[in-house]
Structure 1
Amino acid sequence: MRNNHCPICQSSSLNDVLTRSNIPVYQNLLINNFEDARQIPRGDLKILECMECGFVYNSLFDTSKVVYSSEYENTQSYSSYFNSYLNDLVDTLVTKKGVSNLNVVEVGCGKGGFLKKVVEAGNNFGYGFDPSYIGPEVDLDGKLRFEKKLYNEDSVHIKADVVLCRHVIEHISEPVMLLKSIRKALIHSPNARVFFETPCVEWIFENKVMFDFFYEHCSYFNRKSISRAFELAGFEIVSIDHIFNGQYLWLEARPAEDTGELPSSSYTQNIDSSSIVFSKNEFEWKRRALEQISIYSRGGKTAIWGAGAKGVTFLNLIDPELKYIDCVIDVNPNKVGNYIPGTGHKIIGIESLENNKLSTVIVTNSNYIDEIMRIVEHKGLNIRIVDIETWCTEQE
């Protein structure tokens, strides 16, 4: 438990944001049996916000409950929108940041798709690290190598010009320890550039996205907290940007000179009124959401689009007994035919849309609205597409 002090700055000035009990510990686990989905292991959320550095975290997170294996599947690149986003990110790295003809390490590379793009686009050499990696150990004629382990000080023999780490740190309960281990691995690479991507908690608070707090993510950052974490681990911040329409933070850092002294904080006390409004809004949001989906379900079969963390969390909050939502749609073929952790909703693919006679599809991430509308229109289906973020906001 991490109740008494902020895991980053050690402040005891903490604010309660929300509490949820008995929620699924996995949001992206492949489960091919309804009963297994219903019986998934569960845990509790107690989301706290540090009023000094702004770090937001689950103080009840139990690392032993979440073990990432080959059954964990969160690949998003099957979406044409997300794949274009990744290509743009790669283009930025190669053309604007000069990531060409370099040694690139990716920490938590997943299936290795993003690293492969970076290697191919910039004529780089890539080294992917991930304990749950599945695939060949060597690819692209030896220019791409994978190791099924963590990247840490044991990897100092690998010269790293660039380190990438996308959507890993939010899964880590002690983020400064992760960053320190990366810093130690770069002891012989003092000029390395480090790029991190992680969800932005300010976006969650400001847009009142109640279904963006879930068990897999135990650490949430704003600009202040992620800067402080990197500084404490021995890095110097180069830049921090908001990307993916504000949903993600994109940070660039480099190893700082080791002066033997802890860096002093340049930030004033974190005062975030949006988190206070957010915490007061959950009960009313849930009431309105239940009211809205009951209206849709009375008008015909209703589905959620997106079997990722947002969709899974929404369903566990609003339809745990399968009263309103008939199925969940996802473009990732690996998820099709499986069941939503916790609730047991069936996941279908876009090729099955014609057979399900849906009246309404609720979209849990507005970034994908245009892509979804094109798919539905291409199939000639008369389905109402609902942006859940919009209709929740409109009822404020």
Structure 2
Amino acid sequence: MSAPPPETYAGRACPVCGRPGGQPVHEVAAVPVHSCLVMDTRADAVAIGQGSLAVVLCHGCGAMANRLFSSDAMAYSARYEDSQAFSTTFLDYARGLAGRWVTDWHLEGRTVLEVGAGRGDFSRLLAAAGAGRVVAMDPTLDPARFGEPDDRVALVTEAFGAGTDLSGVDAVAMRHVLEHVDDPGALLRDLRAALDGRDDVPVLVELPEAGRILAEGAFWDVYHEHCNYLTRDVAVELFESAGFSVHAATLAYSGQYVHVEALPTGTVRPMRLPSSVAAGLARDADRFRSAAREQVATLARAVEQSAPTGRVVVWGSGSKGTAFLHALGPTARLVDAVVDVNPHLWGKHVAGTGHPIVAPGTLADEAVELVVAMNPVYATEIRAELDRLSPGARLLALGHAGVGAERVLTPRRRA
């Protein structure tokens, strides 16, 4: 992972709070600007535009941001396919989250706006959980991809902005949006202004929890689309500085996500990060750099040692899989294919490396030696598929199955 020269980003201020300087966390000179665009051919995948990573920790507000992020390079469209709803593990989780938010905030029969609805999967779940009407808002929404219409879900192919009218909305849900926004504080302040005088309207947000990324040295969770990385403490401070009162900030999905539940009852103010939190972040960021290098080396060896005796595949073609394959460098050529349960990706190719994306069923065609899973949350689901399709395959899942848990490495099963 070659790094961009420091002079290209050293003078750039934190996009969240505007303070200069900071602590370098992770640098990569060239990465695909998009990880989840549907690429029809290998040539198109290899030729995708490139950006750079220069993630820097701001000692003032605690946000980690890519100081070389280019919003002009982003091209979100209906071709952006990041749905996880074809995994039973994820669907069970998302259904439970929708039900909890509807129940806890008494949204039965009420109107919920989902900002950044993507393919509309979660909007359907909110409606199924009892919300009376769900407005799915996203400029990339595709009615054909959404599928069978649902009278309870209205599709709005627009982005949320300062002029968005929220007068008829009883709650706002926003999942995995803030990390894609160069200045998440500005978005939250616009949302707070739009809800002025609506003190009873909850804002329910899910975003990646960066503390887990730092702790695991999870280089596969750092990519160009995600231009900022917030720990739970920093996320709470960001919301409160934007004029929200945070009622809960809980970890979910084995510590990978944080759920922030807030009401627009606070006052806009500058961010104030406790010195103890800032010091802990600095230590964790410093450890990440060495941990990430060690992870890349260890995982590359695992691929290199397995390739001579059988097929090596990656399970999960999204942003994690793209970042993982890119970080492997020349070793990525030893990976035969990438498996994904999303049928809209079958026959497509991974951005940057061009690896073919195949259906799980193809693993039965030829014995597999090693499967590298991009997320340990899915290890049980994947293992069950492997036992059916390629029982001898070893499964190596990146990261931890939870805070303090060990890496999941299943012993080889004999047919």
TM-score in same-fold range (> 0.5)? yes
Mapped pair 1:314 → 2:319: no
Deviates more, 1:148-157 or 1:207-216: 148-157
Query: What's the offset of the Cα at 1:187?
Result: 3.0
Mapped pair 1:180 → 2:189: yes
Matched residue, 2:203: 194
Matched residue, 2:3: none
Structure 2 distance, partners of 1:302, 1:40, is: 24
Mapped pair 1:66 → 2:74: yes
Aligned-partner SS, 1:323:
helix
Question: CA RMSD of the aligned region, Å?
Answer: 2.3
Structure 1 distance, partners of 2:326, 2:201, is: 42
Query: What's the offset of the Cα at 1:133?
Result: 0.7
Identity of paired residues, percent? 27
Deviates more, 1:87-96 or 1:378-387: 378-387
Matched residue, 1:149: 158
Structure 1: gaps (5+ residues):
none
Aligned-partner SS, 1:389:
coil
Deviates more, 1:145-154 or 1:33-42: 145-154
Residues 132-162 of structure 1: per-residue CA shift (max 9 Å, x gap): 1111799433x32121111233222542211
Matched residue, 1:353: 363
**In structure 2, which of residues 86, 90, 97 is the aligned counterpart of residue 82 of structure 1?**
90
**In structure 2, which of residues 267, 274, 297 is the aligned counterpart of residue 267 of structure 1?**
274
Aligned-partner SS, 2:26:
strand
Structure 2 distance, partners of 1:215, 1:205, is: 17
Matched residue, 2:20: 12
Q: Is the 8 A contact 2:312 2:335 kept in 1?
A: yes
Aligned-partner SS, 1:307:
coil
Structure 1 distance, partners of 2:57, 2:103, is: 37
Q: How does 1:20-39 map to 2 (within 5 A)?
A: 20-39=28-47
Q: Is the 8 A contact 2:212 2:255 kept in 1?
A: yes
Query: What's the offset of the Cα at 1:320?
Result: 4.9
**In structure 2, which of residues 254, 261, 279 is the aligned counterpart of residue 252 of structure 1?**
261
Q: How does 1:1-396 map to 2 (within 5 A)?
A: 3-135=11-143, 139-141=149-151, 143-156=152-165, 158-187=167-196, 189-257=198-266, 262=269, 265=272, 267-268=274-275, 270-271=278-279, 272=281, 273-320=283-330, 322-379=332-389, 381-389=391-399
Structure 1 distance, partners of 2:75, 2:193, is: 25
Structure 1 distance, partners of 2:390, 2:140, is: 40
Query: What's the offset of the Cα at 1:236?
Result: 1.6
Aligned-partner SS, 1:178:
helix
Aligned-partner SS, 1:101:
coil
Q: Is the 8 A contact 1:159 1:189 kept in 2?
A: no
**TM-score in terms of structure 2 length:** 0.88
Letter in 2 for 1:168: V
Residues 303-333 of structure 1: per-residue CA shift (max 9 Å, x gap): 0000011111100110457421000100000
